[in-house]
Structure 1
């Protein structure tokens, strides 16, 4: 082989590498492929929850755009404020309209990808419980009207048992929308979300791909789908049931389904204990708000990220750290010295890192430095 051929081969390799990270995705399969390729090349897409706020507008703007000087190619949003029975119809309609507009416009303009969560309300939690926390119960004693006998509501959903539920706030009054069982209530919620998903199409009517993270932080007890209230087998069945219902009502949707723990999983056996199967998962990941809190927490996060990366490589999955942030701890150089050091550790290959909420945004210089690192993809 002469020098000309060597140069051509090197050039071609560089071109292929460049193309693989050029956001050429067009559907779920190509999106998954590019996310996997990014991780294998030591690259991580930056994502940010609440970068766009559908509750307020459908415009492409951010309070921190002057700091970031860019809009991420992957952004985090949630279905809970555009569906459900807790918020008034006017608020739901507006959020739904804004959400659809955001997904369609960001795709048309930049091929940007939405990373959805679903903080679904609990069907038995009474109307008076704070709307911002309507999807959870931390302690039954804090919710005097919560029926303790229904703490295993997911089992009721799976068995189509249980009592009348679904107290909502559709017109500012109690008992305005009731369902005979939580299963009927749940199917209506899935059908509602599927209706939103069906609107995610481009100018040619083709479905826009996105990521959908189901029932995250499952080992925690503060979510009503947490391990304290749901057996491993029932969690798997619930995960699969959710997909099946949504696929039924949104058959053309291009979705990457994500399975996500919190930071309290210690080994692969624990992590996979509630895994519903390769047919139902495309992205695996975890949440971790303790990165940088101590050397012990940092090492634990690295080991967890290595574990997820190893599992993903074996199963040909994309990977993500779906929730992390500096929060109120104000750790100096959190993003560059702790978070990015973890992302660059040997054996760690994460496709996405998602910052969850910037309400405690107190280290803008460090974040700006973080998103400008060579291994971070923001646009």
Structure 2
């Protein structure tokens, strides 16, 4: 590990590299960001969405986790979402409330884990969900737009929530915040084809400035996130600028059998190559913010498909999507094996790799100090 740390200082010793976009970021947030840089030379943190809240065939059972039950350890990174908070609903989904989520986020921090939050923001123009891309929306929520005050009220609510999350040490919990994700896709109202690149940049900058400067929220690490892209220019087309971004990432899912179709690995490798170049040029921490193979119907997904997709590229973490279990549509929806699943052995081998970091490993790194 000493060699890894020395390598880090050789490659990234310039203090400018590890400075957050927010100059007033809390000490714990700054420390987390510095340590995210360090982990690039140590390994890849593994993350899982809603890990502590539910899994396949269980809901809200204290300290339970499908990852724990299969790998023998918790994830290093825990993903959450604040969808519906802007509408004053109790929670993003009907399994747990935002109040309960706050307690779980605080527990992760107290244990030394890392939290990341996305926001499937409702459409402020139509009042429908994030997937309602039927109308051009962004212009209406920018300054002087008809929905601008409404949008600010939404930012007030999430800012209040961010400022309420504190650990046992009474310090604000640092959060990797990933708003307006998968922006190169066309399925959300903020996505490609639903606004101009300049409108997206303006939305991001206003959101950042309002939350950081107006509401004085200084415990966020801001992540820019895309879906598919084919060039550096496409990835950066709506990029708001280095002063507004701390991390960069993309989401990619496997949907076909990798035995017969290697496109997931090929596409991921291409995108990692592009993102790696951008990360070095712009001095940003890269990550794979969402991935997975629903129901994992391939017994070598982790050790072969995913590890081949990542290859030798240096990323801070990879996060698998949630383990909902049986949905209302009578479909099994999960991305990490549960106890007894045929993919359990492959996932255990993935856990045992020197390159993968779970909670026990990053507890030793003391990410907030």
| TM-score after normalising by structure 1 | 0.76
Does residue 320 of the first structure (1) align with residue 302 of the second (2)?
no
Change in Cα spacing, 1:88 to 1:378, as seen in structure 2 (3 Å) is closer
The SS at the match of 1:369 is helix
Q: In the TM superposition, what are the counterparts of 1:216-295 in structure 2 within 5 Å?
A: 216-248=181-213, 250-263=215-228, 265-290=229-254, 293=258, 294-295=261-262
CA distance in 1, matches of 2:117, 2:97: 14
1:89/1:371 CA distance change after superposition, 3 Å: closer
- Alpha-carbon distance in 2 for matches of 1:261, 1:30: 26
Q: Does residue 101 of structure 2 align to residue 99 of structure 1?
A: yes
- CA offset at residue 57 of structure 1? 4.6
Determine if the alignment matches structure 1 residue 356 to structure 2 residue 321.
yes
State the partner residue of 1:120.
121
Q: What is residue 50 of structure 2 aligned with on the other side? A: 50
Q: What secondary structure, in the 3-state scheme, does the structure 1 residue paired with 2:97 have? A: helix
1:91-170 aligned at under 5 Å gives the runs 95-108=97-110, 110-125=111-126, 134-137=129-132, 140=134, 151-162=135-146
> Aligned with 2:286: secondary structure?
strand
1:203-230 deviation line (CA, Å, top 9, x unaligned) = 4432221200121111111101011211
Equivalent pair of 1:57/1:98 in contact (CA under 8 Å): no
Query: Quick check: 1:38 aligned with 2:39?
Result: yes
Gaps of 5+ in 1: 1-10, 19-24, 128-133, 141-150, 163-181
Q: What SS does structure 2 have at the residue aligned with 1:274?
A: coil
Corresponding residue number in structure 1 for 2:19? none
CA RMSD of aligned residues (A): 3.0
Deviation at 1:248, TM superposition (A): 3.6
- Once the two structures are overlaid, the 10-residue window that deviates more, 227-236 or 59-68, is 59-68
The residue number in structure 2 matching 1:175 is none
SS at match of 1:184: helix
| More helix by percentage | 1
Asked if the contact 1:207–1:252 (Cα under 8 Å) also holds between the matched residues in 2, the reply is no
- Does the aligned pair in 1 maintain the 2:46–2:77 contact within 8 Å? yes
Cα drift, residue 281 of structure 1 = 0.6
* 2:89 corresponding residue in structure 1: 87
Q: How far does residue 59 in structure 1 lie from its aligned partner after superposition?
A: 4.3
How far the C-alpha of 1:124 sits from its partner, in A, is 3.9
- Contact in 2 for aligned 1:160/1:183 (Cα 8 Å): yes
Structure 1 stretch 226-235 or stretch 287-296: which is displaced more? 287-296
Matched-pair contact (CA < 8 Å) for 1:137–1:223: yes
Could you tell me whether the CA contact under 8 Å between 2:253 and 2:264 is conserved in 1? Answer: no
Larger Rg over CA atoms: 1
CA contact (8 A) 2:184 2:235 kept: no
In the alignment, the residues of structure 1 paired with residue 301 and residue 92 of structure 2 have an alpha-carbon distance, to the nearest angstrom, of 40
Task: Report whether the alignment pairs 1:193 with 2:158.
Answer: yes
CA distance 1:58–1:365, change in 2 (3 Å) = closer
Contact 1:210 1:254 survives alignment (8 Å): yes
The residue that corresponds to 1:310 in the other structure is 277
Shift of 1:17: 8.0
Equivalent residue of 2:222, what SS? Answer: strand
Q: Deviations over 1:39-97 (max 9, x none)?
A: 2x26111000120239x65943324431121112211011115x1227359999x7221
Structure 1 residue 105, shift from structure 2 partner: 2.0
CA displacement at 1:296 relative to structure 2: 3.2
Residues 114 and 329 (structure 1 numbering): CA distance in 2 closer, same or farther, change over 3 Å? closer
Q: Secondary structure at the match of 1:233?
A: helix
What is aligned with 1:72?
75
Structure 1 CA distance for aligned equivalents of residues 4 and 124 of structure 2? 53
- Equivalence for 2:347: 367
**Larger relative contact order, structure 1 or 2 (CA cutoff 8 Å, min sep 6):** 2
1:3-46 superposed Cα distances (whole Å, 9 cap, x missing partner): xxxxxxxx96478689xxxxxx962222222222222x261110
Alpha-carbon distance, 1:126 to partner: 5.3
Once residues 61 and 100 of structure 1 are traced to their aligned partners in structure 2, the CA distance between those partners, rounded to angstroms, is 17
User: Matched residue of 2:237: which SS?
Assistant: helix
Instruction: Tell which deviates more after alignment, 319-328 or 196-205.
Output: 196-205
